[in-house]
Amino acid sequence: MSITYLEAIREAQAHALRDDPRVFIYGQDVGAFGGAFKATKNLQKEFPGRVLDAPISEDAMVGLAVGSAIEGMRPIIEMQFADFSTVGFNQIVNQAATLFWRTQVSCPITVRLPFGGTSGSGPFHSQCIEAIYAHYPGIVVLTPATVEDAYSMLLSAVAINDPVIFCEHKFLYYHLKAEKLPSEALPIGKARIAREGRDLTIVTYSAMVHEALAAATELATEGWEIEVVDLRSVKPLDTDTIVASVARTGRLLCVGEAWPWGGVTAEVIARVTAEGYGLLDAPPQRLNAKDTPVPYHPNLWAAHRPTSRSVAAAARNLLRT
Amino acid sequence: MLQSVSEPRTVGEAQLAAYRFMLRARLLDDKFAALYRAGKIHGGVFLGRGQEALSAAIGVSLNKTDVFAPLIRDAAGRLAFGEPIIDAVRTYLGSALGPMRGRDGNVHRGNPQAGYLPMISHLGAMISVVNGVLFARRMKGITGIVGAACLGEGATSTGSFHEALNQAAVEKLPLVLIVANNQYAYSTPNDRQFACDDLAHKAVGYGVQAHTLVGNDFSACMEVVGGAVARARAGHGPQLIVANLLRLCGHGEHDDAGYIVPELKNSPLGRDCMKVAEEVLLQNKLADTAQFAVWRSEAIREIEEAVAQVQREPAPDPFAENWTALSSESLVEGRE
């Protein structure tokens, strides 16, 4: 048996619905149709009345989730694409994210964002906007890179008593496979050493973990041992694991598929520079997408985002510094 | 303490209860305005002057088990829904003992688990939250409840209003949406806000029943709001109420409302609903002026006592503050 990243997300939701009567799923086309990506396939049939189509109203979808959370429910909201969550942005960052702080009433909602680029998806179906959610207090932002994490972290997301932005990468949906679903997992907030090395640390998350691992394999043929840190969660951010890795390697490259201004890679570099300046043998570097909307044509798209080739090139430059 | 009651009662009893909430709200607002002028309040003060009849009608039409998302001019409705005066005072004065503990202030107060939702400032954003509470209760098998959300006419221009009213209609939720059309959104007059003849027409587009009334007509407020709440409770789906009235103050106490044209102030809409309500009670021999005076002095005493008490209470202590926005302590960075 093998299971894909997308199937793991479906299985996690089925598990959550089965285990907890407070869980329901609300989003566009999630019902009988099973979702634009089929992440809720057959769930409506299996859990009648608990997997519901929503009108095309992201603001109202999140508002409804917050109201139901106040009543003790644990809604999962599927945004059809992360890009469209900006229509519900106000409810996420001003309603959901402030509720506990203002009132001491928890807001356990999970907002699933199918995010990131795939070939041919263009400017409005490709965005990586984890950093804008992470910027706001009161939100947990998760970015699983593996099938196992997609499953276990989505289960965790539903169990967390705070709003969770669950960034699931569309590029990983179909081709990333595992033999079985995990029975245990690292806690939320812990980064994972995806590959050990001693010459340079690449800190990254989500689909870029796989680009970084491919780059590390390539660089291994040149004699370099690259350590790859998979953040798993961008908020909270596991600074300790990052700094410990930099302590071993002395060099830091941060890779993100998101745009370059600010964001997760900038945050990692700011923290390492502040907390581990003396550990660095060279100026820390970062590699992000280009500062334009995400292009449609595969030729342009491949050059817009970091790939294993550009990651390896950036790592080589840093190794020579 | 005066409480709204859920058991059936006569029209006269309901009117008396509503008037007393109106009176207390007006006097409480007056006190906040005085404290503001005295520099005792951080931030703004927002009054419900001229809108008390509508607001009280909403509050007394709801049961304790209903859901209420008031707006900035709903002191009367809040009191009628059961908010203690001291909660309002504590929030305005930022007391650490208040429901918002100094983290949020003035009209941003509530008790979510009691169905009393604390507004955020983004207009229209509370409607879908009310929908969510109603939706969840239906999932839990709780029936016979109503959710009321209050707005001004300005909020009808927002996407949130559209999305949430449509959502409530699709889900056939027992939502009562009350639009206080007070002619100005801050300073913006209606002819710069919308172009339809009557905001109630918007309901047709959503498949929602609409009710229109004049918001300083005390009897109409009681009858129409009560009727709409009853219809929602009986399972007839969302109800939109449009109350045409005039705000008899600025947007906040910082605003002299010089933009309100004299023609409106001198029109029937400019009549104070407090006076209208008193006339109704006098005409129907439900109370006399001596009784009004007694209620007035009782309310003033209660308000003054609350203010005196809160002024002795501790302010929030930034050194004792738990500076985290997360409920999950284990996910707060730096706290393993």
Size of interface A-B (CB pairs under 8 A): 147
State the pLDDT confidence band at B6, using cuts at 50, 70 and 90.
Answer: low
Residues of chain B found within 8 Å of residue A65, distances taken between Cβ atoms: 132
Å between A321 CA and nearest CA of chain B: 32
Is residue A87 within 8 Å of residue A28, measured between CB atoms?
Answer: no
Rounded-to-integer distance, Cα A213 and Cα A195, Å: 7
Give Cβ neighbours of residue B332 (< 8 Å, ≥ 6 apart): A236, B324, B326
Which of B101, B326, B329 best tests the A interface by mutation, with the highest count of A CBs <10 A?
A: B326
Count of C-beta atoms within a 10 Å radius of residue B219: 18
Q: Please give the share of chain B, as a percent, with pLDDT higher than 90.
A: 96
- B residues 65-104 lying closer than 8 A (beta carbon) to A: 99-100, 103-104
Query: What's the fold here for domain A192-320?
Result: Rossmann fold (3.40.50)
Which tokens in the block code for residue B115? 């169905």
Dump pLDDT digits (tens) for B247-257.
Answer: 999 999 999 99
Question: Residue B4 pLDDT more than 80?
Answer: no
First to last CA, chain B: 46
User: Does A15 qualify as catalytic in the annotation?
Assistant: no
Interface membership of B129 toward A (CB under 8 Å): yes
Query: How far is A321 from B299, CA to CA, in rounded Å?
Result: 76
CA distance A111 to A75: 8
Residue B1 has pLDDT above 50, yes or no: no
Q: Which residue has tokens 């600074």?
A: A239
Rounded Cα–Cα distance for residues A232 and A146 (Å): 9
Chain A partners within 8 Å of B119 (Cβ): none
- Look at chain B and count its residues: 336
ipTM: 0.96
Q: Do the Cβ atoms of A60 and B325 come within 8 Å?
A: no
- Residue B191, burial from CB neighbour count under 10 angstroms (0-12, 13-18, 19+): exposed
Beta strands in chain B (DSSP E): 67-69, 147-152, 175-181, 184-185, 188-189, 209-214, 239-244
Question: CB distance A59–B160 less than 8 Å?
Answer: yes
Distance of alpha carbon A267 from alpha carbon A108, whole angstroms? 26
Pairing between β-strand A192-195 and β-strand A177-178 as defined by DSSP bridges: unpaired
**CATH of span B11-331:** 3.40.50.970
Class of A3-178 in CATH: alpha beta
Q: How far is CA B39 from CA B42, B80, B162, in A?
A: 8, 28, 39
Rounded-to-integer distance, Cα B230 and Cα A168, Å: 45
**Nearby residues of B11 by Cβ (< 8 Å), 6 or more positions away:** B222
| Tens-place pLDDT, residues B38-78 | 999 999 999 999 999 999 999 999 999 999 999 999 999 99
Contact A71 B132 (CB under 8 A): yes
Q: Output the pLDDT for position B7.
A: 56
Chain A, nearest residue to B140 by Cα: A22
pLDDT for B86-133, tens place per residue?
A: 999 999 999 999 999 999 999 999 999 999 999 999 999 999 999 999
Q: Is A99 on the interface with B (CB under 8 A)?
A: yes
Inter-chain contact A72–B136, Cβ cutoff 8 Å?
Answer: yes
| pLDDT of amino acid B8 | 58
Residue A91 near residue A163, CB atoms below 8 Å: no
CA distance B180 to B194: 14
B133, B128, B131: which is closest to B155 by C-alpha? B128
The kind and range of the H/E element at A53 are strand A51-53
pLDDT above 80: residue B5: no
Residues 6+ apart with CB under 8 A from A43: A10, A13, A14, A17, A25, A30, A34, A51
Residue A103 and residue A94 in contact, taking contact as beta carbons nearer than 8 Å: no
**Mean pLDDT for all residues in chain B:** 96
Average pLDDT in the B184-211 region? 96
**Confidence (pLDDT) at B335:** 72
Measured from the Cβ of residue A246, the count of other Cβ atoms closer than 10 Å reads 24
Check CB contact of A185 with chain B, cutoff 8 Å. no
Domain residue extents for chain B: 11-331
Residue B336 confidence (pLDDT) above 70: no
Chain A residues near residue B104 by CB distance under 8 angstroms? 102
CATH 3.40.50.970 intervals, chain A: 3-178
Maximum Cα–Cα distance across chain B: 68
CA atoms within 13 A on the CB side of B60: 29
Helices B85-93 & B289-311 angle (0-180, nearest 10): 40
Contact with chain A for residue B287, Cβ under 8 A: no
Instruction: Say which of A50, A66, A87 has its CB closest to residue B129.
Output: A66
For A208-250, what is each residue's pLDDT tens digit?
Answer: 999 999 999 999 999 999 999 999 999 999 999 999 999 999 9
User: Could you tell me whether strands B147-152 and A226-230 are parallel, antiparallel, or unpaired per DSSP bridges?
Assistant: unpaired
- The answer, for B112 touching chain A at a CB cutoff of 8 Å, is yes
Q: Pairing mode, if any, of strands B184-185 and B175-181?
A: unpaired
Q: Mind telling me how many Å the CA of B220 is from chain A's nearest CA?
A: 31
Report the alpha-carbon distance of residue A74 to residue A76 in Å, rounded.
7
Looking at residue B157, what DSSP letter applies? G
| Weakly modelled stretches of chain A, pLDDT under 50 | none
To the nearest whole percent, how much of chain B has pLDDT over 70? 97
* CATH 3.40.50.920 domain extents, chain A: 192-320
Give the residue from B139, B166, B335 with the most A CB atoms within 10 Å of its CB, the best one to mutate. Answer: B139
In the prediction, which pLDDT does B3 show? 47
* Helix, strand, coil share of chain B (percent; to 5): 50, 10, 40
Considering only residues 211 to 270 of chain A, which have any Cβ-Cβ distance to chain B shorter than 8 Å? 236-237, 239
| pLDDT band per the 50, 70, 90 thresholds, residue B33 | very high
